[in-house]
Structure 1
Amino acid sequence: MPPPQPPRPQAGAIAAILGGLRRAPQQIRRSSRDVVETAVSQLFDAAVQPHGVAASGEYRIEELARLAGSTTRNIRVYRDRGLLHPPLRVGRIVLFNDTHLTRLRLITSMLDRGYTIAHVHEMLNAWEQGKDIGDVLGLENAIAGSWATEKSERMPVAQARELIDDDAAFDRLCDNGLIKLAGEDAIILRPKLIEAFNDIRRYGIGIDTLIDVHERVLPHVDEISSILVQAGVDHLAHRIKPGEPLPADTEVAELITMLVRFRTQAVAAVTATLAVSIESTIENVVAQMLTEYLGKDPGADEPT
């Protein structure tokens, strides 16, 4: 059974944007970079608002759930557990604001990383009580352990094959170490990656292509990791030297904590840099597509 199709962006909004481009004078469309850049911006705004919900500063619970990628049920649970502050009530209408949206996105992100609701509540309370970022990171380390690694998932082999829905791809994932067979069970070692694969497949991209991309990207990721870790190791070289006594326990603990926190900040920095790079690349691709789209208008008058 093929994966379900994702929700389509606002077709009417996108059609209106393209229609406006078509109606613009030909010499403006083809010579002005501003026209293409404005169209790219408008198209992305329409594409990222698949339900037509724009950031307005005041949201009903359904709108808040859509913007945050959550559900109304989750929002009610978070309110009951004290993770979200009470919303504004106007008569019988309940309104949330941008503070709720930001907080909800943070809660969702932390839960996705494996924290429990109790852990999230404790960390948010620490933040609100004015503790600095070091205190919060120390609390995060105590809760999550030294490494917030992705947790594997165990299931029957038949269920795992159904999840992948492609026998050849399943074998490739096993060969790549993303899935491990253990008797009648399969251990999904990278469940979030498999979930991402299946999400992307909804757009018609074959899983073989996604595995190819993973195989090509992985060596580069390992290289980036080596560069980042080496930077941390070089920082410690003058404090821990081969053949010499280790520093005092308190200093060793401080150094280990620094490396753990270095890992957290390094991941955040690389993620932010990668996001900017991907956004820029996609925008350039879409701009090129629009430029070609405008240049091949069969209904436009030829220049004299």
Structure 2
Amino acid sequence: MGGQPPAEPASEEYTVDQLAAKVGMTVRNVRAYAGRGLIPPPRLVGRTGYYGPDHVARLTLVRELLGKGYTLSAVERMMSELPDGALALGVFETLVSPWTPAEPEVITEQQLADRAGIPHDPATIAKLIELGIAERVDDGRLRIPNPDLLRTGLEVIKLGVPLDAIFEMLPKLFEQADQVAKIYVELFRNTVWRQFADAGLPAEGWPEIQRTLENIIPLAGQALVAAFRESMGREIETAAYEELGLPPDEFSSTG
């Protein structure tokens, strides 16, 4: 066998330098993560190591998790329980993608005031920053982490609802949203995920976990909207009774 030439790298394999460039890391970081067991050893051809799609997926997942604020120790724990990199990355993207807000915007204070149709007021800007709706960047402009949330708030302002009332309502809204999110997450953890974890996280079960997540996340949103619509109808009807001074049986129900 010794007279045979070494095997050539496969078409989707990379040297450590090519791998680092592909995943947007330094070679030093790639080697460090490999040393911590976050990626499996490369395929050796002579003295050269070649890395494949699984290494790319796992390092991409490491980068994404670190970018979300997880510590390296937490990433290590998660990666030790995950399947091959491609499946792990797929599950992670399924979890976060549907709930990732639109790309953040950077605007001036005056642009924000113009959008709201109100005069520029430093106190209003300070309150938006306090609530986490805006962040100050180095050049003095404002970074809006969740433009969809801001856009909704601006539409409410245009309906004539005072800013003070909106500022008072937002912390309550955020708190309720957190509670609803926890309910759904715990539902998934205590049923589908618990059964999967008790079975030892079998590799063949990950595609089914991903399919479940892909279906349960939009369904959770639809159920929340449906429940909210029904609750909103009851609250509006009750408020109408109270404001008109009529008992419910004297006011035709909206049904």
Please report the TM-score for the alignment, with normalisation by the length of structure 2. Answer: 0.51
| CA distance 1:238–1:176, change in 2 (3 Å) | same
* 1:27-66 superposed Cα distances (whole Å, 9 cap, x missing partner): xxxxxxxxxxxxxxxxxxxxxxxxxxxxxxxxxxxxxxxx
Helix, strand or coil: the match of 1:146? helix
Say whether 1:179 aligns with 2:130.
Answer: no
Cα distance change of structure 1 residues 290 and 182 upon mapping to structure 2, 3 Å threshold = same
Q: Percent of aligned positions with the same letter in both sequences?
A: 19
Alignment partners' CA distance in 1, 2:113 and 2:155: 16
Q: In structure 2, what is the Cα distance between the partners aligned to 1:162 and 1:180?
A: 18
1:125-274 alignment to 2 at 5 Å? 146-151=97-102, 152-164=104-116, 165=118, 166-184=121-139, 185-235=141-191, 236-241=193-198, 245-248=200-203, 250-274=204-228
Runs of at least 5 residues in structure 2 that lack an aligned partner in the other structure? 1-92, 247-255
2:136–2:143 contact (8 Å) kept in structure 1: yes
Q: Structure 1 CA distance, aligned partners of 2:153 and 2:114?
A: 14
Q: What letter matches 1:266 in structure 2?
A: A
Deviations 1:218-263 (A, max 9, x none): 112111111111000111112114xx85312x42122033123212
Q: 2:238 aligns with which of 284, 289, 293?
A: 284
List, as ranges, runs of 4+ consecutive aligned residues in structure 1 with deviation greater than 4 Å: none
In the TM superposition, residue 168 of structure 1 has moved relative to its aligned partner by 1.5
CA deviations on 1:78-115 (whole Å, 9 max, x unpaired) are xxxxxxxxxxxxxxxxxxxxxxxxxxxxxxxxxxxxxx
Contact 1:157/1:181 (<8 A) preserved: no
Structure 1 residues 229 and 273: alpha-carbon distance in aligned structure 2, compared to 1, 3 A threshold: same
**Cα distance change of structure 1 residues 186 and 222 upon mapping to structure 2, 3 Å threshold:** same
Contact 2:109-2:125 at 8 Å conserved across structures: no
Tell me: higher relative CO, structure 1 or 2? Use CA pairs within 8 A at least 6 residues apart: 1
Matches within 5 A, 1:12-31: none
What's the offset of the Cα at 1:148?
Answer: 4.5
Taking structure 1 as the reference length, the TM-score comes to 0.44
Question: What amino acid does structure 2 have at the position aligned with 1:271?
Answer: V
Bigger Rg over Cα: 2
Kept in 1, the 8 Å contact 2:133–2:146? The answer is: yes
- Structure 1 spans left out of the alignment, 5+ residues: 1-141, 293-304
- Residue 212 of structure 1 and its aligned partner are, at CA, apart by 1.1
CA RMSD of aligned residues (A): 3.0
Q: Which amino acid aligns with 1:270?
A: L
| Contact preservation (8 Å) 2:196, 2:205 | no
CA distance in 1, matches of 2:110, 2:184: 40
Q: Please name the residue that 2:28 is paired with.
A: none
2 CA distance for matches of 1:274 and 1:153? 29
Q: What is the total number of aligned residue pairs between the two structures?
A: 150
